[in-house]
A and B are shown apart, each in its own frame.
Chain A
Amino acid sequence: MKDPVLSIKNLKIALPEGADRDFAVDDVTYDLFPGEILCIVGESGSGKSMSANAAMGLLPDLVRPVGGEIIFDGTDVLKLSEAEMMDLRGKKIAMIFQEPMSALNPLMRVEDQIAEVFEAHGLLTPKERAARAIELLTEVGIPDPQKAARAYPFQLSGGQRQRVMIAMALALEPRILIADEPTTALDVTTQAQILELIRNLQEKHGMAVMFITHDFGVVAEIADRVAVMQYGKIVEAGTADEVLDNPQHEYTQKLIAAIPKLAAEETEAPVGKTPILEVEGLNKTYVTGGGLFFSKPRVVHAVNDVNLTLCEGETLGIVGESGSGKSSVGRCLVRLMQPDSGTVKLAGHDMAQLSGDALREARKSIQMIFQDPYASLNPRSKVGRIIAEGPMAHGVSKQEAYARAVKLLELVDLDALAIDRYPHEFSGGQRQRIGIARALALEPRVIIADEAVSALDVSIQAQVLDLLADLKERLNLALIFITHDLRVAAQICDRIAVMQKGKVVEMGPAHAIFNNPQSDYTRTLIEAIPGREKELAAAG
């Protein structure tokens, strides 16, 4: 076997006092070999990014290595001076990050940001740097590299920005590329392209890649070897096939079991059931710019002639990539946004036409759960107030509303004592349960869940999905589930509407959408789901 390019031995990284545990990374040992892709997998807080950041000397200020070594090129990088580390960074070990928007300086042109890598290491003349920038942009497959070089980051799409990051990382032919969740913020089709790009470049340049991710689907797509981390320790390591097909550790088994399966079950068609929500000819355009005088406004047709029906007790998925208009539909349905035209009939009333008290009354029957469990709860309100506020606004007495809040907390599997606590005292999954309790407080008939599990770790996501399915059954709710994640949609939805550029391109029973997609776009989406091929091979 070849010698490892990077060897991490008994690494211990201490967390500041008062953290939930003493060590972010606790006695971790692993090797990275030339020409391989090693995936470090774990949920949030597992310490999966820490050892990679330590190898770059980029740990946050309050976190420091307290034991072990990181051997690169025969020396322990933990013992290098800052000047020696600077020489290492970018030249021998390069890194790309999760958020391609915020990882690039918004005020600098792309070519200048790439040229900086050469400048940092005193290489090439300014003219040569500019020429190399174009070459690198060409290599990472950006359309019109000349134009992209002159562009500012905000003028590029998310996928293009991540390509720019990769171009920067490749500039000096580093021996190691660290990729920290590089595709998590991207749409599924873009993710597939970026994964392929990383794989190709790795083979072409013979780099070692350390790929940090929470997503086992991505692992299945790209990994040669896998290390699974939990609470700062590696609980299981091996080749990708070993770990994915035959996980040994209980935690790995649990994680893999929690991944929603793509094989949607056949469900009975909603024939004979009463429709509770009927949407016809819904339109919404956004107009930006264009003031008092003649400047030309930019018009985006976010929702373009959308028709939907939702029956009692049914879960309808609205699936699409960012910018497809799926959230705009959700917001029009609850009238958080005024549609331009169309009808939204909820149990006979047209939500789009109501106003004042009638609208307030109708809103009781249609409630929403939001994506971000942190931002969607008022941090200054206690949980009891958050849940009881709705019913109280509709005239329920304070005493009764709080009594009901306690019952609702039990319903979502939270302790009744939670009513006297503030949102920040809860984890992401628990907060999402609070959000669900709040939505249920008004005894709605329809719930709209907008990316309600997207911000959660996979094991928590599975629990919340189970809870939603259970509540739907018990309370006979109808659910509209808006998501970008086709796996989640496959698991929870009876029917699915696929949206692209404001239009519904395909709608049908979940199993039909997944097994026999009719539109090209749906097919592209499904083919881009990470880990799909492996799952198909295993199933069949």
Chain B
Amino acid sequence: MLRFILMRLGKAAIILIAILTLNFFLIHAAPGDPAAVMAGEAGAADAKFIAQLREQFGLDKPLLTQLGIYLKGVLQFDLGYSYRQQMPVADLILDRLPATLLLTMTAFVISLVLGTAAGVLASARVGKWSDTAISTLALLFYATPLYWAALMAVLLFSVYFNWLPGFGYETVGANYTGFRRALDIGQHLILPATTLGLFFMAVYMRMTRASMLEVSQLDFVKTARAKGLKSGIIQRRHIFRNAMLPVVTLAGLQAGQLVGGAVLTETVFAWPGIGRLMFEALAQRDYNLLLGVFFVSAAMVLVFNLITDILYRFVDPRIRVA
């Protein structure tokens, strides 16, 4: 097992460097650079000033040299300096990361738990009205564009009913502390997290339902019945466990998007997370910051891939031992 993890980590490191390199060239292929943007904003777009800025940021060196400097920094856990924000990139990211993780993790748990539960329920009542209702709802969630669902949620629950706050991370100026603050953040979290989770909730529901129905037709379920087992035990022990295998794969994919996947939601709900940081960095050609965000989200995908694979070894002995 340890060997497996070490091997996978080795592979992940290589993939990560490849991704960084690719991102580096992609970003530089776009027109404009931070020096030009900054000079433009300062209203001093004369060539000499821009050249001076370039020299200061190291942008005048050959591209490959720049890449070398950057990769060397990354290997020493230095993600560089954002000249726009006048702060180290790592600090900027670490500052925003908790908010994003809170949002996406909550969305992940909501979608996984509710989606799977709805799928199990629907499969147990296949063909009845409750199955039809759940399946229709899932189709609706599946087909609704995220930003539209987000706007509607704000309109309905925040503007019309005034039940929940519609934007931000916490109530500005309230200066809550301790439990009161946690409760406040929790209230702010409900709408964005639910909206973000809708799509995957629908996917989990559909997959769980289909998978449960498929597994319940398999021979070993008949064997279980032939033993005289109660149907509750058959559902839990024989059908559910086997039906969860494809869901685990899917959950791994969703978890990988935890950092990068919330740009839209964070924008609509004014959530102070990585997604918005990335958007701003892009607009400002803030190379180092952009690369840093990409690096963190790519690393996240790889880490969750690894976790999924390890988890899979626990749920499916065929992969563990073979």
Contacts and interface: CB of A to CB of B under 8 A. Distances in A.
B227 A154 contact: no
B10 to A, nearest CB: 6
B233 to A, nearest CB: 8
A58 B7 CA distance: 48
Contact of A116 (B10, B224, B242, B316): B224
Contacts of B321: 152, 155
Given A88-B228, A117-B227, A103 B318 contact: no
B224 A106 contact: no
Given A103-B222, A293-B10, A90 B228 contact: yes
Contact of A154 (B11, B223, B318): B318
A120 B228 contact: yes
B225 A97 contact: no
Interface in A86-118: 86-91, 94-95, 97, 99, 102-108, 116-117
Contacts of A94: 226
Interface in B212-264: 218-220, 222-230, 233, 237-238, 241-242
Contact of A91 (B7, B228, B237): B228
Contacts of B225: 58, 89
Contacts of A86: 228-230
Contacts, number: 81
A152 to B, nearest CB: 4
B227 A107 contact: no
A538 interface: no
Given A152-B318, A154-B318, A293-B10, A105 B227 contact: no
Contacts of A119: 229
B31 interface: no
B11 A104 contact: no
- Interface residues of B toward A: which range? 20 to 34
B315 interface: yes
Contacts of B237: 105, 108
Contacts of A120: 227-230, 233
B173 interface: no
A168 B230 CA distance: 17
A87 B230 CA distance: 10
B322 interface: yes
Contacts of A295: 3, 7
A102 B218 contact: yes
B229 A107 contact: no
A21 interface: no
B227 A90 contact: yes
Given A117-B227, A291-B7, 8 more contacts: A89-B228, A90-B228, A102-B219, A106-B220, A106-B318, A107-B316, A116-B224, A165-B223
26 contacts: A56-B226, A58-B225, A87-B228, A88-B228, A89-B225, A89-B227, A90-B227, A91-B228, A94-B226, A95-B223, A99-B219, A102-B220, A103-B219, A104-B220, A104-B223, A106-B242, A106-B318, A107-B241, A107-B317, A108-B237, A116-B227, A117-B227, A120-B230, A155-B321, A292-B11, A293-B11
